[in-house]
Amino acid sequence: MKAVLAGGTGFIGSALIEALLERGDQVTLLTRDLPAAQRRWDGKVDAKLWNGRDPGPWVMTLDGADAAINLSGESVAGGRWTPERKLALIKSRVDSTRALVAAIEAAKERPLVLVNASAVGFYGIRPEGESAEDAPRGTDFLAALCGQWERDAREAEKLEVRTVMARFGVVLGTKGGALAKMLPPFKLGVGGPLGGGRQPFPWIHVDDAVGAILFAVDNAKLTGPMNVTAPEARTNAEFTKALGRALHRPVFLPAPAFALRLALGEMSSLLLGGQRAAPRKLLEAGYEFRHPELDGALASLLG
């Protein structure tokens, strides 16, 4: 298979490239840092320079590709959500998605599938009940951002390209993401739950995040939104205790909700809110999770 990947230099993207190469696929990587990508992959990947928004020679890579995968977007946890920061979060997602869809439209031989990243933040802050893929969109900033992101991706459906919006939960891995940031304080024995700890914590092992993307690429029946989360629902407090057990460290210092709100402003909703996003589509389509339970997932990552 020939896959074109945007946003492939991050934590999930790098793991995805390794998996694609391992199964013998041809990968074209669209990147802002061409020299770094060439050093990283040493000829194994065809890297093309792209600023994430404007057309250029890279658009030719979509012609004849089997799959387009878009993981582009600045980290929502990269700083306080000032008006300027919010605009950057929106543009980094919307601009890249619109540009890719435009390139798909211009291709003589269009890809069979577009897998476009999204997030379980689509459902807003929903501590009660379960949010499967047919649950309504929330009303906060992150929900609105995901909604716009997905609307732009759905334009590919008008081009008769199967489109999957991968709504990621918290992806667990030691090479990046939330877990990598949590490990230093927890190893020192000063980790703890956030706020009251009762908020849902929709997690997934990085192996299954990558596996779900590949499953969506390969499975012609999958279309529309798809929750990329583990089947086992946990709260923030339960995750914290499990991480403490995995590291053989005590867990007893909660981070007060008021302090998080004071320090992070609106962005604190990422830590204090949550939703039980169930992977209904993946399960119904027959995806087999490698790490369906949290304790086993953490053990595989932390030994």
**Using one digit for the tens of pLDDT, what is the confidence trace for 68-121?**
999 999 989 888 899 999 999 999 999 999 999 999 999 999 999 999 999 999
d(CA 176, CA 301): 12
d(CA 64, CA 243): 45
CA distances from 224 to 118, 147, 186, 201 (A): 11, 13, 38, 23
pLDDT attached to residue 173: 96
CA distances from 122 to 70, 154, 182, 285 (A): 17, 15, 24, 22
Query: Is pLDDT of 238 > 90?
Result: yes
pLDDT attached to residue 111: 98
176-189 tens-digit pLDDT: 999 999 999 999 98
Considering the entire predicted model, what is its pTM? 0.96
28-38 tens-digit pLDDT: 999 999 999 99
CATH topology for 2-172+202-230+276-290 is Rossmann fold (3.40.50)
Q: Are strands 224-228 and 162-168 parallel, antiparallel or unpaired?
A: parallel
pLDDT attached to residue 254: 85
Element (H, E) at 228: strand 224-228
pLDDT attached to residue 258: 80
Q: How confident is the model at residue 259 (pLDDT cuts 50, 70, 90)?
A: confident
Query: Is pLDDT of 262 > 90?
Result: no
- Mean pLDDT is lowest, of 72-76, 167-171, 214-218, 293-297, for 72-76
- Domain spans of the chain? 2-172+202-230+276-290
% the chain with pLDDT above 90: 84
pLDDT averaged over the chain? 94
Q: How confident is the model at residue 21 (pLDDT cuts 50, 70, 90)?
A: very high
